[in-house]
């Protein structure tokens, strides 16, 4: 993609972005470092929007829930583009809604070696029904240990449980040893 250089190009870009966001009913877009502060700010912002739109409590809670898990996944598991330990863990976050659903979309860089395990785990989660997810959740909460980064290994199971929909995901190859990992979670509005 070409870089935007001049201020005129940038205005064009901002204008197009505005239109794209309006057309797709995108409530929130962010690209950058994901910290606990960012997580709190975005979830609070989205909550406020949902209250304004008189969204049901149940849907509000589900969207909040999925956002927290997705954002904390990035802050705990995103990899940097290089092996430099100090390089920031970044990600993209996008929240959109239509008449019947909310979408929470996140993307972040991961190392190639994580892909297989992640894909297997997501395939398994997507193969389960409500009871199956509940059983897997109980097994993992009993047997799992909190990782050094404070992860419980429950994030995607919980996202699938709360959303009630299959988790969509994709891995796009960035370099020889890095993928861009995209997750789309859909929360239905009329349960």
With respect to another protein, which residue has the nearer C-beta, 66 or 94?
Answer: 66
Please tell me whether residue 61 binds another protein under the rule CB under 8 A. Answer: yes
Binder among 5, 23, 85, 146 for another protein (CB under 8 A): 146
Please tell me whether residue 30 binds another protein under the rule CB under 8 A. Answer: no
Nearest to 161 by CA among 144, 140, 136: 136
At 22, is the secondary structure helix, strand, or coil?
helix
Please tell me whether residue 62 binds another protein under the rule CB under 8 A. Answer: yes
Exposure string (b/e) for 78-102, b if CB count within 10 Å is 16 or more? bbeeeeeeeeebbbbbbbbbeeeeb
CA 24/CA 58 separation, integer angstroms: 23
**What is the DSSP code (8-state) at residue 54?**
T
Binder among 65, 103, 108, 186 for another protein (CB under 8 A): 65
Please tell me whether residue 142 binds another protein under the rule CB under 8 A. Answer: yes
Binder among 10, 17, 18, 40 for another protein (CB under 8 A): 40
Please tell me whether residue 141 binds another protein under the rule CB under 8 A. Answer: yes
Please tell me whether residue 115 binds another protein under the rule CB under 8 A. Answer: no
CA 170/CA 176 separation, integer angstroms: 17
CA 169/CA 181 separation, integer angstroms: 7
With respect to another protein, which residue has the nearer C-beta, 61 or 166?
Answer: 61
Please tell me whether residue 56 binds another protein under the rule CB under 8 A. Answer: yes
Total residues at interface with another protein (CB under 8 A):
32
């Amino acid at each position: 993609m070409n870089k935007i250089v001049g201020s005129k190009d940038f205005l064009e870009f901002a204008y197009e972005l505005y239109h794209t966001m309006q057309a797709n009913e995108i409530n929130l877009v962010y690209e950058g470092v994901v910290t606990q502060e960012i997580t709190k700010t975005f979830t609070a912002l989205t909550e406020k929007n949902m209250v304004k739109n008189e969204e049901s409590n149940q849907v509000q809670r589900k969207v909040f829930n999925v956002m927290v898990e997705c954002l904390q996944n990035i802050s705990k598991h995103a990899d940097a583009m290089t092996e430099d330990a100090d390089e920031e863990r970044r990600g993209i976050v996008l929240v959109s809604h239509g008449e019947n659903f909310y979408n929470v979309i996140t993307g972040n860089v991961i190392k190639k070696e994580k892909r297989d395990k992640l894909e297997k785990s997501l395939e398994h989660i997507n193969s389960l029904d409500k009871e199956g997810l509940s059983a897997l959740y109980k097994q993992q909460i009993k047997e799992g240990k909190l990782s050094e980064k404070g992860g419980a290994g429950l994030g995607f199971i919980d996202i699938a449980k709360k959303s009630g929909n299959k988790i969509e995901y994709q891995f796009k190859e960035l370099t020889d040893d890095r993928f861009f990992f995209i997750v789309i979670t859909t929360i239905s509005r009329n349960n």
